[in-house]
Amino acid sequence: MKSLEELRKLREESLRNVELRNPDKDIRVVVGMATCGISAGARPVLSTFVEEVAKRNLNNVSVVQTGCIGMCTLEPIVEIYTPDKEKVTYIHVNPEKAKRIVSEHIVNNRIVREYTLGSEE
């Protein structure tokens, strides 16, 4: 830290990141971050969701992490919770898929069916 301005910027960024994890938002993006998810690549997926939500100023969306979702072979797993709708479970998510999920599902309300649980058959 070389200046007070740098400290202010760091504080603002930290507050934005904390706000993204607020569970009282309309849409919740839940990323499985147990050891199975992390070893399958969930950390960059979580980061991509956080970055995309912030970049698009999606103030009604929270991005949170959870432990094991119970389907380790399908990791990284992301669940999207929207009020009055069924949970959508995305499997084998990578950063590129995460960007598309934000763009199509969260922004335009169109589920990306080929990435969902059940589509792997």
pLDDT in the model for residue 106: 96
Identify the band that residue 29 occupies on the pLDDT scale cut at 50, 70 and 90: very high
Q: What percent of the chain has pLDDT above 90? A: 68
Q: Domains of the chain: which residue ranges?
A: 4-115
Give the other-Cβ count within 10 Å of 73's Cβ: 9
Please give the pLDDT value at position 57: 92
Residue 89 has pLDDT above 60, yes or no: yes
Q: What is the CATH number of domain 4-115?
A: 3.40.30.10
pLDDT of 113 higher than 60: yes
Residue 93: pLDDT above 60?
yes
Residue 115 has pLDDT above 60, yes or no: yes
Question: Does residue 5 contact residue 13 with C-beta atoms inside 8 Å?
Answer: no
pLDDT of residue 19: 57
At 77 the pLDDT is 97
